[in-house]
Structure 1
């Protein structure tokens, strides 16, 4: 099985379409949350996830934008985007987003896929960022073999086998073209895998990020793919969203 893992789309339709085209063919799509927020195409990105994703996990921006929790904890730019998104979404999409489950989702229980779970932030706390080995230690001790996470907008992850611990950072040859990097999954290892952000990367790489989990090859293939940043920026500006949200797409931070 080839499962496409997406996270942090953030209503960036141009990036999402580029990812879906580059990732094909795939057998399943697992969405780790934050479909909306920041970008200017919330209804379009939700429609694609409703159509294509077999599993969806809610993100913190999803939770705020559909009205489950307040935006007061967000910084002013994120708060402005969340308030705009709440008004821009259709009632049907707000209701769908509000019903998306909190992670982690155990795929063995949900679909008979052993050793895999899905979360937005830490599997121990959906709002916690896993940025360092210290952050990863407790979740890895209590997780399934592979837990896919998002939230940080940083592609990579953490791996552990017995007393060996490793931080995973893909190493690409290109900074402008489509590129891939494969991570083998040896037996007996545990992994926290972040596919990166589709719509707003923050690892100084502007390209849309995603991952493919190939169960037969026992590997995870990280991907970066170019997309029409100018069009995505134009949508943000035309919507009247903060200019910072358009500017950061080009720099990837």
Structure 2
């Protein structure tokens, strides 16, 4: 079985289209949340996902943009985008987003999918310090998560702790890097953000999980950033949301 693992699309339809066009053949699509918020084409993103995703986990922006929770903890730019998104979503898409389950969601006996962490949907895992408790406490051998918009892997094998981030030679063309999943190891794996990367790489990020050869392959793919920026500006959303797409931060 091969799964396309995506996260943090954030209403960026142009990036999602590029990911789906570049993704190798797969049997399932696992969506780790934050489908909307920030980007200017939330309805198109949701409608596309509704036809292809086989597993969905809600993100914090999905909750706020649908009114399940307030935007009190958001910065002003995020709160403005959330309010705009709520007013833009169709009733059908709003209800679909509201119905996405809270993570973690199990895939068989060895894998879970979460937004922030397998321990709490809003926790950020950015460093080994953040990963320590989830790796110690999670019962699955693999947890896929998003939320940070940073592609990478944290692992634990007995007393061997490792943090790995893909290193790509250049930042313009499509690129990939394979990670072998060693037997007996626990992994926390972030596929990166489709629609708003924050690891200084502007390209859309995703991952392919392959249980036949026990591997995850991280991918980056270019997309039409200028078109995504133009859509944000046309919607009169904050300029910050358009500008940051060019730098991946």
Do residues 156 (structure 1) and 189 (structure 2) align?
Answer: no
Counterpart check, 1:228 vs 2:224: yes
Tell me the CA shift for residue 76 of structure 1: 0.4
- Structure 1: tracts of 5 or more residues without a match: 109-113
Counterpart residue number, 1:139: 134
- Residue ranges of structure 2 left out of the alignment (5+ in a row): none
Match for residue 194 of structure 2 among 195, 198, 202: 198
CA distance in 1, matches of 2:32, 2:164: 19
Does residue 1:237 correspond to 2:229, yes or no?
Answer: no
Per-residue Cα deviation, 1:157-202 (whole angstroms, up to 9, x for no partner): 2011000000010111221100000000010000000000000000
> 2: distance between equivalents of 1:218 and 1:157?
14
Work out the number of aligned pairs and report it: 248
Question: In the alignment, what sits opposite 2:49?
Answer: 49
Quick check: 1:106 aligned with 2:101?
no
| Structure 1 position 169 matched with structure 2 position 165 | yes
SS of the residue corresponding to residue 130 of structure 1 reads: coil
Moved over 3 A (4+): none
Counterparts of 1:1-253 in structure 2, within 5 Å, are: 1-108=1-108, 114-143=109-138, 144-253=140-249
- Deviation for aligned residue 1:50: 0.8
Deviation at 1:142?
Answer: 1.9
TM-superposed CA distance for 1:49, in Å, is: 1.2
Structure 1 vs Structure 2 CA RMSD = 0.7
The 1-side partners of 2:214 and 2:107 are apart by 17
Q: CA deviation at 1:247?
A: 0.1
Q: TM-score scaled to structure 1, two decimals?
A: 0.97
Tell me the CA shift for residue 240 of structure 1.
0.6
TM-score (norm 2): 0.98
Question: How many Å separate the matches in 1 of 2:170 and 2:211?
Answer: 26
The SS at the match of 1:222 is strand
